[in-house]
Every structure is written in C-alpha cells, then in structure tokens.
Structure 1
Amino acid sequence: MSLPRRRVRRLTVLALTGALALAGCAERAEDDQPPAAQDQADFPVTLTPAQGEPLTLDKRPDKIVSLSASNTETIYAVGAGDQVVAVDDQSNFPADAPRTDLSGLTPNVEAIVGYDPDLVVLSDDTDGIAAALTKVDRKVLIVPAAATLDDLYASVELLGKATGHAQEAADLAGRMRADLDKIVADTPKPSEPLTYYHELDTTYFSATSKTFIGQVYGLFGLTNIADPADTDQGGYPQLTVEHILESDPDLIFLADVKCCGQNAETVAARPGWNTLGAVRDGNVVALDDDLASRWGPRVVDLAADIAEAVEKASQGS
C-alpha cells in the first residue's frame, strides 16, 4: 500500500521535531549541571573530518560561524543553533539563522574574524582560507559536500560531536535513515523502471547517478538519462536538447525553479518538448532548488517529493 503524501510529510516533521525535542531535553539536562560541567561534558574531543587534519576542540564552541548552507541546516538540526553567531549569505534555512554577507565562495579572513568565532565550519578550503584562519588562532572544521547518503550521516554525526550534541546528532541520523527507508519501501514500484531527467539550469546541465542527488533518485530504482552523456565522468554533464528529446524521460525534475523561473508550463513551451511523455502525462516536477542542491536533514523532504512523483507516474504506467 502506498504512503499518502500527508503521511509522508507527517513522518518527516515528526522525525525532525523528535530530534530537536531530544536536543532540547539534553540541553535542559545540561542546564541542571554547573556551567563548567555543562561546557566540558563531551570535551576535549578530537574530530577526524573527511578533509583536512584531525581537529581537537578543548571546549564546546559557543561562537560558530558557518559558511555552508548545508552545514548550517545540520548545525541547527542537531540542536546547536544557539551557538551560531553568523552564517553565510546562502544560508537561508532556518529562517532565524543569523544570515550575513559573509561568503563561502570568496571568504574573507578579516570579515570572519570580526565575529570572534571559536569554530568556523566550511565545506571547501577555498583560497587557503583554512590555513589563514588557523594562523590567527581560529579552529576550522571542513565538512565537504556529501557524495553518498553514508557521507551525509557521517557529516551529521561529525557536526554533532563538534558542537557538543553528539547524542542528538546520532539520533537524528538514525531517524533520517529510518524515514528514508520508510518512504522508499512504501513507494509503489512501476512494472518497468522509470527514466528521469534532472535539470540544474536552462542550459541543460544535469546530475548523474554518481552524484549525491543521483543516489537519492537511485533509491527509487529510477534510470537517469544523463548517465550516458557523462563522458568526462565529472557527474554533471551538459545535455543536448536532442539527447533529452530522444531519451523521452518518464519524469522531469526541475531544480531551476527559484533561480530560473522554470515550471511545467515553461518546459511545455520549449520547442519540441510538448512531445515528451513526461510533459504529456503531467510528470514535470518543480522541486525546491535548495532541497535539490543541499546535503542535510531535509533530504527526507526531497525524497518525499520524489516518492510522490514516482507514485503518480507509476499509476499511469
């Protein structure tokens, strides 16, 4: 039996709410301890990130600067939001995150240090920013973009340990796994594998099965029409209109809704696209650009959107 859309959403909300509730309970328990005990409960801790050298934190960081939208979402989801003093200009979730004009793409040491952080979280070591910050006695943790779901769970737990919320992070990762498994298990399987096209922008760049987003689609047994076009094995080939039309995907997922104003109507208006099965059958799916480009706890929401589309397309197949 398929999982109704409302129930899927409810599962997601309960998962994240439950994780945050656990974080709140843990914080209340810590509040009953003397301040020194609260601050040092899980510290010192040595972290081994996927990139960079092992990092030792002697005490819980209480002034965190995050220069990655995905990592910002995770930091808040594990219950460490009150420790964040500044986030970059792309970190728009949650809404109460202290968004600034700091940039993760062109990081500025002086601007970052101006917030007096005791931990700076990056997704990339752009322009040697990690060494520059370390030189002025700032702790730096690099949490790169997840390539797989296992990478995502590992990054959640790493940020939990870094912020003093290890148990909350472990609980959150477990709930994410369980929710994804539930969504996938309850999504109807079509008689024949469905094909799909994931659009990154209006110049037809796409993402293959080897990317993080491609692996999320892979949970549902979908076949990616971009895979044969990935001649340089970079994971993000630019497709031709001819290839898309010839492939005739069953599903079209648009990750260029906010950035480029795309929707089912604009796709149908493209020359020749009205002949595609996905267009004729109403299987052009407008995604939230942010959900489709970030690795973090809201991947469960993305999976719910994909599940709904797969269920609809399966019923018509």
Structure 2
Amino acid sequence: MKKWLISLLAVMLLAGCTEETQETQTPETETEDVASEDVASGDSEVTFPLTVTDSVGNEVTIEEAPDSIISMIPSNTEILFALGLDEEVVGVTDYDNYPEAATTKEKIGAFEFNIEKMTALQPDLILAHESSWSTAEAGLQPLIDAGVPIYVVDNAMSFEDTYGTIEAIGAVTGKAEEAATIVSDMQAQVEEITAQLEAVETKKTVFIESSGDPEIYTAGQGTLMQELLDRINAENLVADQEGWLLMNGEEIVSRNPDVIVLTYNYIENAVDAVKARPGFDQITAVQQDAVVQVNEDIVTRPGPRLAEALQELARAVYPEVMND
C-alpha cells in the first residue's frame, strides 16, 4: 500500500483527537528546489525528487515521476495525453471527452468531486486548477493532509500562459522534453496561421457569443478569446470592456458585428436561433450569413489544441482568406 494511503487512514483515525507535537524527521533524500517560473519556462533540467511552487503559492514536493495521475479539468487532461501519459492518467472529470481514450478513464465528478473515489484511485499526483481551487481545496483536505501531491495549474489567459502550463505539467510529470516539443509545434502552427492573415486590410468586427438567450455572455479584454481575435487580425466587438460580460440583444444590434461566432453547442440549431432574434435581421453578420458555430471544446480549452482553435476561429471570421 502506498505511503500516502497509509497516512490518509491515520488522518481519518485521528480526526477529532487532540493534536500532539511530533518531531520532524530529516528526509533521507534532498529534493531539488525549483521556482515555479523556472518550471513553467522549461529552462531548468528537472530531476526527482522535485519541489515546486504552484499557481496559488503552495509548495509541492513530488518524490518521483508519477504513474497514477488524477486530472481535475479537461484542459489538464488534454495536456497529459499529449505528453504521452495515457496509462498514467487514472481519473478525470465527467466533462473530459478528448482524446477518445479519456472517456474510458474513471470519472471523479464535475463541479463536486468524489473524494472517496479519488482516494481509491491512489494517485501519485493530482492536477487541480486555479479557476476552481477556491471551492475544491476544502474537499481535497483529507488528501492534502495525507501527503498526496496536489499541483494547482495556472488559469491560462493567453498563449504564453498556455505554453507555460504545458511546460509546468511536463516538468512535474517528468515529461519536460515532450512538453518543449509540443510548445514548439504549437508556436510554428500559430506563426503559419497569423502569416496568412497579415494581408487583411479591413478588419472584421466579431461578436463572440459564449452562451445563448436568455443570458448572452461574451469576452472582452483580458481573456484568452481576446488574444485569439487579436492574433487573427480581427476586432472584438466589446474590446472596450474588460473580462466576461453579460450582453443584451439590443446592444448587439446597435454595435452591428460583421461576424457572430458561437462558442457553445448546448442549444440545438443555435445559429438559426440567433438569426431569428428580434432585430437581428438588421445585423451585418446575419444579412451576410456570417453567424458561425465553432467547436466549443477546442476554442475554450487552453491546451495543446489552442493552435487548432486559432485556425478554426480564423476560418469562421475570414473564410475567404483561410482556404485549405
């Protein structure tokens, strides 16, 4: 039985008992102390045992390259599989659907995680995520107390953040070289796509719709979606505002986007539904049949398919330029 599982049982038995002061034993093996920015940059040659600082400032020690990993968000899972860690991934969320092999892994939940199931999987490493850490931390406390390494991955808001995330996950899993290759390939794809769009003289104005009626949300400055639009040489309809915004139909009509891109797939016949909204027949995007639905998973997950997301968005906005 793994040492952390023994520790977990001990924690459970001691719950509610008075804590006693214990002497701290000196570890037999020294760990390599690596700053988080070094891990993310891929500059350090990482060896195990490894101590790193994650995105929320927690110091995490990983004794050896993990062979039993739980991923708590789909983007982390995509990175792990891209790194070749198919067999090492033992648990994923209910929403993990890519690659196909991820759908066969044990499901640990979605917004609420099954701690008992996670414990039974005996992970060597849990990859959490900054975006949900404030709600997940308390539930994971038994595993934290038992000494299971939990690395909280950065909430990537740009291509550079995404590259750093891939490199960081590569480092803590012993796959730094593979991570560097993935990043290099992505950068080459991005350069190729952006080069195709450099000749665009008149930028199109784009409204990114991330959810439909009755609550229409879109992305402004400071979001990954904004950078995607910047890189394809397009204007964000709400570039004058920050973060995620709730919009109403009247304002969308008054701003008159050239293109409307739907980044969700939970509404059936979503494109037709948008076109049928009151007043939307006045919008250029509707008049020119430029309401386009893209793959939600690809364009919203900051992982190895982000270059593919750029390609898909470019085709949606500039089909006349992005010819195969």
Same fold per TM (> 0.5)?
yes
Contact 1:89 1:99 in 2 (8 A): no
Between Structure 1 and Structure 2, the one with more strand by share is 2
* 2:147 paired with 1:137: yes
**Match for residue 286 of structure 1?**
293
What is the distance in 2 between the residues matched to 1:162 and 1:285?
39
Q: How much has 1:265 moved relative to structure 2?
A: 2.2
**Match for residue 256 of structure 2?**
248
* 2:123 paired with 1:113: no
What is the distance in 2 between the residues matched to 1:79 and 1:197?
36
CA separation of 1:127 and 1:164: change in aligned 2, threshold 3 A: closer
Contact 1:188 1:310 in 2 (8 A): no
Contact 1:216 1:303 in 2 (8 A): yes
Letter in 2 for 1:49: D
RMSD: 2.0
- Alpha-carbon displacement from aligned partner over 1:255-311 (angstroms, at most 9, x marks no partner): 12x212244322222222122111121211111111122111111111111221333
Letter in 2 for 1:84: V
* 2:184 paired with 1:174: yes
**Match for residue 208 of structure 2?**
198
Give TM-score, length-normalised by structure 2: 0.78
**Match for residue 80 of structure 1?**
85
Q: 2:66 aligns with which of 61, 65, 79?
A: 61
| Counterpart secondary structure, 2:143 | helix
Q: How much has 1:188 moved relative to structure 2?
A: 5.3
Q: 1:46 aligns with which of 34, 46, 51?
A: 51
What is the distance in 2 between the residues matched to 1:210 and 1:182?
24
**Match for residue 18 of structure 2?**
none
Consecutive unaligned residues in structure 1, runs of 5 or more? 1-40
| Counterpart secondary structure, 2:319 | helix
Contact 1:47 1:158 in 2 (8 A): no
Give TM-score, length-normalised by structure 1: 0.80
Letter in 2 for 1:88: T
Higher-RCO chain (CA-CA 8 Å, sequence separation at least 6): 1
Contact 2:115 2:140 in 1 (8 A): no
Consecutive unaligned residues in structure 2, runs of 5 or more? 1-45
Which of 1 and 2 has greater Rg? Answer: 2
Contact 1:157 1:170 in 2 (8 A): yes
- Alpha-carbon displacement from aligned partner over 1:124-163 (angstroms, at most 9, x marks no partner): 3224245432112211011132011111000000111111
- Alpha-carbon displacement from aligned partner over 1:54-73 (angstroms, at most 9, x marks no partner): 32211110010111100000
* 2:244 paired with 1:236: yes
**Match for residue 213 of structure 1?**
225
Q: How much has 1:112 moved relative to structure 2?
A: 1.1
State the number of aligned residues. Answer: 270
Q: How much has 1:92 moved relative to structure 2?
A: 0.8
Q: 2:271 aligns with which of 243, 257, 264?
A: 264
What is the distance in 1 between the residues matched to 2:180 and 2:53?
16
> Once structures 1 and 2 are overlaid, which stretch shifts more, 72-81 or 301-310?
301-310
